[in-house]
């Protein structure tokens, strides 16, 4: 199915959760925020929140340094 991650169309398997997708992309939870359809998804819900066809996901990662 297709979702949009930071406005880029991406194919993901049906039934995948936010947590599973992040793990597959090797994205650490620390310093990461996720919003789906402009609604923040708390980290406590990542393991239960299943992605749906057409979801618009905003992935924000904190960067460190100067």
pLDDT at 62 over 90: no
Instruction: From residue 41, give the alpha-carbon distance in Å to each of 34, 36, 52, 66.
Output: 6, 7, 14, 29
pLDDT at 64 over 80: no
Q: Domain residues of the chain, as ranges?
A: 2-61
Reported pTM: 0.88
pLDDT at 66 over 70: no
Sheet holding 8-11, edge to edge: 8-11, 2-5, 56-61, 32-36, 39-40
Q: What is the pLDDT of residue 53?
A: 98
CATH of domain 2-61: 3.10.20.30
- Residue-wise pLDDT for 1-50, tens only, equals 999 999 999 999 999 999 999 999 999 999 999 999 999 999 999 999 99
CA distance 9 to 54: 9
């Amino acid at each position: 199915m297709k979702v949009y991650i930071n406005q880029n169309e991406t194919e993901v398997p049906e039934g995948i959760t936010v947590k599973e997708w992040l793990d597959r992309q090797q994205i650490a939870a620390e310093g990461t925020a996720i919003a789906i359809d402009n609604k923040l998804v708390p980290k406590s819900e990542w393991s239960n929140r299943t992605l749906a066809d057409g979801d618009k996901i905003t992935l924000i990662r904190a960067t460190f340094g100067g």
